[in-house]
A and B are shown apart, each in its own frame.
Chain A
Amino acid sequence: AQKITQTQPGMFVQEKEAVTLDCTYDTSDPSYGLFWYKQPSSGEMIFLIYQGSYDQQNATEGRYSLNFQKARKSANLVISASQLGDSAMYFCAMRELYSGGSNYKLTFGKGTLLTVNP
């Protein structure tokens, strides 16, 4: 079963505007971590932001923030003041932390291709 769902294959945004990239997840484990990575056309995977399931506040890193809604199982990435260099593929990922278990695999969504228009 798919554990990470990114419903937007592609998104467009005007430079300097904010954009929200959607991510929903599925887990029965109460302890988990959520990550966002950026993959520009050059191919590298760049870590952006992390949210733990027990974190009380939404994570923020510069222009990136995570809109974490635990009850809805969503962890949307918000990019404020978009820049041309933000054009890239964005991946949401989750890692479950089974109590006493050993499966810590990072599961990725299929990604959202963001294009920032000048």
Chain B
Amino acid sequence: DAGVIQSPRHEVTEMGQEVTLRCKPISGHDYLFWYRQTMMRGLELLIYFNNNVPIDDSGMPEDRFSAKMPNASFSTLKIQPSEPRDSAVYFCASSLGLTDTQYFGPGTRLTVL
């Protein structure tokens, strides 16, 4: 069975550009999570969705960040405009229920120059 799929795996962009990260959760999972991992702050939850509806976006750092889940099999995390401090690895994870094990995608390594 396919796990969580993320694209692209690597993204290099220049400051000020828009960046869109994509995620396909495991089929049948009702919860989707976006995390950011940096050396300084470790793994941080940015936002999570239940049945395509955003439930908690308190971890989203700024208005420059936005996330959508138009259907059960696709979510995007957008940064506009991007800044060098956004450089990090962004993970998408999904789970059956809110209290079930979260399975992570391979991550997107974002570098903003």
Contacts and interface: CB of A to CB of B under 8 A. Distances in A.
Interface of A: 33, 35, 37, 42-47, 50, 91, 95, 97, 102, 104-106, 108-111
A105 B91 CA distance: 15
A102 B48 CA distance: 12
Interface residues of B, number: 18
User: Which 4 pairs from chain A and chain B are nearest by CB?
Assistant: A45-B104, A108-B43, A44-B106, A104-B98
B104 A43 contact: no
Interface centre among A35, A45, A106, A109, by most chain B C-beta atoms within 10 angstroms, is A45
Contacts of A91: 43
Interface string B72-113: 000000000000000001010100001101111111010000
B106 A43 contact: yes
Given A105-B45, A106-B45, A110-B42, A47 B109 contact: no
A45 B104 CA distance: 6
B32 to A, nearest CB: 13
Interface of B: 33, 42-43, 45, 56, 89, 91, 93, 98-99, 101-107, 109
Nearest to B59: A105
Contacts of A42: 106
Contacts of A44: 104-107
Contacts of A35: 101-102
A84 B110 CA distance: 29
B61 to A, nearest CB: 16
